[in-house]
Amino acid sequence: MPVQKTSAILLRRVDYGDADLILTLFSETHGKIGVIAKHAKRSRKRFAGVLELFSNLSIQCRTRRQGGLAVLEEAQIIEPYAALREHILKTAYASYWAELVMVWTEDKQPLAPLYHLLCYTLGELNAGRQIDAQLNLAFQMRFMALAGLCPNLNYCCVCRTALENFKVTAAGFDLPRGGVCCLDCDQPHDTALCLSRGTIKQLQWIAEGDLSRVGRIRFSTAALNEAQHFLEAFVPYHLGREPRSLKFLRQIRPCATAA
């Protein structure tokens, strides 16, 4: 039975029977993988304190000839990211990102850039070096780019007029077309959104600039709310479903922000 060794982020854990855990991990070299950790709930030596959500782990697992879940043999902590499980708002953001990865990725399809993006944003969220809400914008923009679904923020998706040549400083956004519309072409409907040019420019920088400098961008409260509302409509629309974790994030964010 072949042995796989890789680093991986723990996305989900589910109890299986009295002693075992079924884990979903996103690995650097093998993409999304499911494994079973035998006797993990009872073991005090092999997995004690290791298999925590969002942790970055070094794992060794053995695949079965007859198929099915691989068996986790060893796991060591690379980064525990403990703060993500201690603060409810950080837990909500990390859960949202983890669910996006789980929903979009196929099993055993390597995507190292997404693994590194997830590691970086979880690390920054854990350390508190950047504003949580701006990290959320950055993750969503870059995740959608890797998914091949990045929003078009450069020109009108109807008449192709460049953003710089729009007559006013606001633009509509057409969710089905996936792009901005100048107000000459924008036709109001249920899935329309509106973005100011300033917010669009900030989203463009977040999508393409140095991730380590995302925290230096100064969003006004209005711009942050506008960008947040836009991406949390755009991402579920183009993934074809609304993540349950996004509903939770929306519920607790106002309370956590006010606290």
What pLDDT was estimated at residue 49? Answer: 86
pLDDT at 235 over 70: yes
* 57 and 163 share one domain: no
In the structure, what pLDDT confidence band is assigned to residue 223 with cuts at 50, 70 and 90? very high
Domain endpoint, select from 31, 58, 80: 80
Domain endpoint, select from 28, 50, 80: 80
Lowest mean pLDDT across 34-43, 131-140, 184-193, 234-243: 184-193
* 248 and 144 share one domain: yes
Taking residues 86-92, report their average pLDDT.
Answer: 96
* 132 and 112 share one domain: yes
Compute the distance between CA of residue 253 and CA of residue 143 in angstroms, rounded to an integer.
21
* 113 and 194 share one domain: yes
* 70 and 154 share one domain: no
Q: Taking a C-beta distance cutoff of 8 angstroms, is the pair 155, 162 a contact?
A: yes
CATH number of the CATH domain containing 238: 1.20.1440.120
* 57 and 97 share one domain: no
Q: How many domains in the chain? A: 2
Question: Domain span at residue 63?
Answer: 3-80
CATH number of the CATH domain containing 23: 2.40.50.140
* 204 and 217 share one domain: yes
* 172 and 90 share one domain: yes
For residue range 30-79, list pLDDT tens digits in order.
999 999 999 888 876 778 889 999 999 999 998 877 767 899 999 999 99
Domain endpoint, select from 26, 50, 80: 80
Compute the distance between CA of residue 137 and CA of residue 125 in angstroms, rounded to an integer.
12
* 59 and 184 share one domain: no
For residue range 101-115, list pLDDT tens digits in order.
999 999 999 999 999
Higher confidence at residue 99 or residue 48?
Answer: 99
For residue range 143-197, list pLDDT tens digits in order.
999 999 999 999 999 999 999 999 888 899 999 999 999 988 866 554 568 899 9
**If you ran DSSP here, which 8-state letter would residue 213 be given?**
G
Measure the CA angle with vertex 219, ends 216 and 214; round to 5°: 30
* 172 and 137 share one domain: yes
For residue range 248-259, list pLDDT tens digits in order.
999 999 877 655
Task: Please state, in angstroms and as integers, the Cα–Cα distance from residue 160 to each residue in 152, 164, 180, 200, 212, following that order.
Answer: 11, 11, 10, 16, 32
Q: What are phi and psi of 57, to 5 degrees?
A: -125, 155
